[in-house]
Amino acid sequence: MKASSIWSMAVHGKMFRICNVVGQYRNILLNRHTSSLYQQNAGLKKSVEEKLGLPPKPKKPLTPYFRFMAQIRPAIVQKNPQAKLTDIAKLAGTEWGKADSSVREQLQAEYKREMVDYMAAQVKYNQKLTDEQHEEIKKAKIEIAELKERRLLKKKKKELGKPKRPLSAFLLFMTEKKDERGTQSFKDWQIQMQNEWEKLYEEQKSAYMARSRKLFEEYKREIQIWEEKMIRLGHIDVVRNEALIQPKRQGTSVSQRSRGSEE
């Protein structure tokens, strides 16, 4: 397995564990699933197994801290009915800090007993799955990790101000006509626009195409400047591969070429 793949799976494995904790934390504050004192994976989202149509996995017991929160939450809400989720969390954290050691020990003992039952149930669950089902689960988890990685990368590019790719000629045409959409669904409106686009004269289409080409040339200059900046700042992961391996000619950067033209 490639190092990059291992790194990706490690990062997203950590992210998945964080999501589990956040989901558990939110469920308790909202008084979800507290009667059984068991958590749902990643909040209210279905597990990978459930999405594949397999029986749900055994659920991990709550840790002592979350078990304590589940117990004291009703009293906190009763005393502070207008409190926000974050306020409830702070109050619960304060109470946990003041909790007697005997209370913590009791919760820890309950947690350990339930963990033994959980681990036994997990072994039985895995034994019932076929090799094909295990493989399906493995592939699904890899796909989820890759999807999360792409989403995080997209978010990072946006935060770092990556220039937006310009619209195509057809999309420029659609944008000009957006006020004519009315109450149409997007699908019906798109079909209507496609029909209208086909009916345009070649001269009319050429005008939109010329605008699109001009915008794309501007975009290429902007993206090159942005990628050079990202490389200098060490954000290699947001830069296209061709921008990293393409040999640069004399006057490498756009700014250098601009200075040369001014002279």
Q: Are residues 51 and 125 in the same domain?
A: yes
Cβ distance 63 to 120 under 8 Å?
A: no
Q: Are residues 111 and 215 in the same domain?
A: no
Give the model's pLDDT for residue 26. Answer: 52
- pLDDT (tens digit per residue) in 43-79: 457 888 988 899 989 999 999 999 999 899 999 899 9
Q: Are residues 237 and 180 in the same domain?
A: yes
Domain carrying residue 205 = 169-262
Number of domains in the chain: 2
Last residue of a domain, one of 100, 135, 159: 159
Last residue of a domain, one of 129, 159, 189: 159
38-42, 51-55, 227-231, 239-243, range with the lowest pLDDT: 38-42
Instruction: Please give the model's pTM, rounded to 2 decimal places.
Output: 0.57
Give, to the nearest 10 degrees, the angle between helix 64-79 and helix 85-98.
120
Domain of residue 121, CATH code: 1.10.30.10
Output the DSSP codes for 130-171: -HHHHHHHHHHHHHHHHHHHHHHHHHHHHHTTPPPPPPPHHH
From CA 89, how far away is CA 26, in angstroms rounded? 9
Cβ distance 173 to 193 under 8 Å?
A: yes
pLDDT of 33 > 50? The answer is no
Q: Are residues 149 and 187 in the same domain?
A: no
